[in-house]
Structure 1
């Protein structure tokens, strides 16, 4: 993997809005591939936490021998901020805030306002309409979806989502960025849930119904998919890793847009109401 962002087709300067688990993972991916990266967060405490997440991820990459540069060299190209204006020089900014429509739109509009006219803006949304977001922007042709998967450093997939107004030249360009990150692009046209979330949620919801109906335990259902279909973890453990609240939000959106086959099971709604959100809460379908 080249550490020259120009030679590797990456924009030399990349911004990430939101430094949580996903945003930090995205920042790490671009940073270790040679780009200069800035993460913008809502306040200094959150920005400091984002810096710590990325630094920790860098340390793990160094321990695995996955990068050739030193820690000091890598972190010299990384910064965090609370000011959108620090995205001004970026050639690409990826929004990675929570899956709340109003928050996505306001965040994207605020970022677009400081970007150069030729800069590209992307959303890491896992299900929301890329075309709908683009309609709220001044330069919709410069906007697309780049759906990363958790955990970003270990995942080899990025779903490239093309909206109705996305410039067609962004398709090969985004394929080049993904390849430069050492990952594989799957290109889909904008539709509810895209390809990955739509299929993944459909399987997970049916697995939840099976638990609800007493067909089998969560462990046995997951083992059936791991051993029989070569899933890496199984749909219920994956739900715990993603977050039950996140899965519920996607299911509600797909239910609204695609119909009753995506209606969230009561067990999912109950667990979220009880604060059992999966790994991040210590309890979901599994104890962590």
Structure 2
């Protein structure tokens, strides 16, 4: 298996919010990046996200490199075969087990055998995803936090057959991107979402049941527990659809204590998904 010193080109599957963010931080760290999505439009949207993010960072003097130089290190494609040039691959497709298993089966054919494959899943089993390949020992969870260019943490998740070398590579790669890591076993929700999703859901219930206004639910948690965002603000930031998907997965795996809040589901059904749609629990420009 290739180690950190062998990695020059990073493949990223998915050009959405997470995939574009991962491509950006890898390119900022000096790697060449191949960013792939299924439609040219999605790839172009990914570049728009990256350019906007780089401009914001540059305006705050938080970017050491020239934004254009970072973008120039990223190649967009719709062809999975173009990832054959990658020395390490991070998948950031939609949070759907069938989709991820299909992607990993295809990656197994497209990418050289000695290349490790990482998945950015936030709740799904690494072991089940890895079983779609013939390289289960080289599949590892690498769960970035949103927004990727800003958040410093990355969760490394160890599947049933993930090798120590693959785990070490995941830690080393994340550190090379300027991130700090923690490690989780392949249990539902891992560390972050296992704890975070019930917290968000209970915040939604408290507001829905009239315990406090949405502003006071968030203010109380921020001032009372020293977190930077309250549960409703954070849900809007993550995306209410993402929170609902994660909660449903945990509910299925771990029982009723993870049942999604009714108002969360209603908001998603209404298409109010948070900051990305302009309205969630709060309104955004």
User: TM-score, normalised on structure 2?
Assistant: 0.94
Alignment deviations for residues 118-143 of structure 1 (CA, whole Å, 9 cap, x no partner) = 10111111101111111121111110
CA distance in 2, matches of 1:187, 1:10: 23
Instruction: Determine the C-alpha separation between the residues in 1 that align with 2:54 and 2:275.
Output: 22
Cα shift at 1:249:
0.9
Name the CA distance, whole Å, in 2 between partners of 1:178 and 1:262.
30
Give distance in 2, aligned partners of 1:81 and 1:238: 32
Q: 1:115 matched to which residue of 2?
A: 111
Task: Say whether 1:184 aligns with 2:193.
Answer: no
Aligned-pair Cα RMSD in Å? 1.8
Matched with 2:129 is: 133
Partner in structure 2 of residue 258 of structure 1: 254
Number of matched pairs: 283
User: What is the SS of the residue equivalent to 1:122?
Assistant: strand
Contact 1:10/1:176 (CA < 8 Å) preserved in 2?
no
Distance 2:219 2:66 in 1: 40
Q: Give the alignment partner of residue 200 of structure 2, picking from 204, 214, 223.
A: 204
Deviation of 1:20 (Å): 0.9
Deviations 1:191-211 (A, max 9, x none): 000000111101111111111
2:89 to 70, 90, 93: 93
Distance 1:192 1:268 in 2: 20
What's the CA shift for 1:76?
2.7
Going from structure 1 to structure 2, the CA distance change for 1:108 and 1:8 (only over 3 Å counts) comes to closer
* Contact 1:278 1:284 (C-alpha < 8 Å) held by counterparts: yes
Match status 1:268 vs 2:236 = no
Shift of 1:253: 0.9
Distance 1:246 1:268 in 2: 11
Q: Distance in 2 between matches of 1:191 and 1:7?
A: 26
Kindly provide the CA deviation profile for residues 153-209 of structure 1, in whole angstroms up to 9, marking residues without a partner as x. 110100000101101112222211111111100111110000001111011111111
Structure 2's unaligned 5+ residue stretches are none
Which stretch shows the higher mean deviation, 64-73 or 172-181? Answer: 64-73
**In the aligned structure 1, how far is the partner of 2:266 from the partner of 2:254?**
23
In the superposition, the TM-score normalised over structure 1's length comes to: 0.93
Match of 1:88, SS state, is helix
**In the alignment, is the contact (CA less than 8 A) between 2:199 and 2:231 conserved in 1?**
yes
Deviation, structure 1 residue 239: 0.6
CA shift in 2, pair 1:233/1:116, >3 Å: same
Do the aligned partners of residues 102 and 7 (structure 1) sit closer, same or farther apart at CA in structure 2, a change above 3 Å counting? closer
* Structure 1 partner of 2:149: 153
Change (3 A) 1:176 1:240: same
- Cα distance in structure 2, aligned partners of 1:149 and 1:276: 22
Moved over 6 A (4+): none
Tell me, yes or no, if structure 1 residue 241 matches structure 2 residue 262.
no
The answer (yes or no) to whether the contact 1:15–1:87 under 8 Å persists in 2 is yes
